[in-house]
Amino acid sequence: MNTANKITMSRIYLAIAMLIVLLFPWHQVVIDMPTYVLNGNMTIELKYIIAGVLFVIASLTDFIDGKVARKYNMVTDFGKMIDAISDKILTNTLIVVLACDNMIHPVIAVIIIARDIIVDSIKMLIGNKGKAVAAIKVAKYKTASLMIGLTLKLFYDLPFSLIPIRVSDFLLILAAVLSIISGAKYYVMAKEYITDK
């Protein structure tokens, strides 16, 4: 377990902590999560702010672990695997929770999660044949839109919601559209390996 992998593992722990904050029935243990009224008409729940801080920190580890692994020659097969798993634990579980809380549309959640399953399956199939599918720019834009959109959603779109503009909704819809496009591109790139008997 090298330093880069430890940083990656911390993302899983932060994701679990974030989910506990969002899902734990605090009222049943006589703990009231405070709510605040902003600008006279916006109700803010503290649990989403705390989850937002944890999400931002966890997202930063996704950038840091790769930099450390490459700089100090710590790239390992375990690191690649756990990095992909931790990313999905962080983002996809949050998408499901926010969809259940009616903070994002369920269709967005279904598209993004279904796309991840399909693309990961394609990568696994091609990997078993000794090949690799390179990351594409559309997928990177999708990830950026998703991460920023989820962050803004947890922070109630502040400061944009004071205008009011729902930037997070736009970014999450964009992430869903880019998910479809990138998923199709991955399929086209891998089609010869998928259909190869």
Tokens, residue 36: 């605040």
Query: Per 3-state DSSP, what percentage of the chain is helix, strand, and coil (rounded to 5)?
Result: 75, 5, 20
Q: Do 110 and 149 lie in a common domain?
A: yes
Q: Do 69 and 122 lie in a common domain?
A: no
For residue 196, is it within any domain?
yes
For residue 50, is it within any domain?
yes
- Specify the range with the lowest mean pLDDT, choosing from 60-74, 79-93, 183-197: 183-197
Q: Do 67 and 20 lie in a common domain?
A: yes
Model confidence band, residue 179 (pLDDT cutoffs 50, 70, 90): very high
Q: Of the residues 78, 112, 144, which one is the last residue of a structural domain?
A: 78
Q: Of the residues 61, 78, 95, which one is the last residue of a structural domain?
A: 78
Q: Of the residues 78, 96, 119, which one is the last residue of a structural domain?
A: 78
The DSSP H or E segment spanning 94 is: helix 77-100
Supply the pLDDT for residue 197. 58
Please give the tally of structural domains in the chain. Answer: 2
Q: Do 117 and 57 lie in a common domain?
A: no
Supply the pLDDT for residue 192. 79
Supply the pLDDT for residue 196. 66
Distance from the Cα of residue 44 to its chain's centroid: 22
For residue 182, is it within any domain?
yes
Angle value at C-alpha 105, between 99 and 107, nearest 5 degrees: 100
For residue 119, is it within any domain?
yes
81 or 101, higher pLDDT: 101
How many Cβ atoms sit within 10 Å of the Cβ of residue 135?
11
The answer to whether the CB of 57 falls within 8 A of the CB of 151 is no
Backbone φ, ψ for residue 134 (5° rounding): -70, 150
For residue 94, is it within any domain?
no
Q: Which domain holds residue 113?
A: 104-197
| Mean of pLDDT values over 53-60 | 96
Whole-angstrom CA distances from 29 to 24, 103, 166 are 10, 25, 34
Q: Do 108 and 196 lie in a common domain?
A: yes
Supply the pLDDT for residue 18. 97
For residue 113, is it within any domain?
yes
Render pLDDT for 23-40 as a digit per residue (tens, 0 to 9).
999 888 888 889 999 888
For residue 61, is it within any domain?
yes
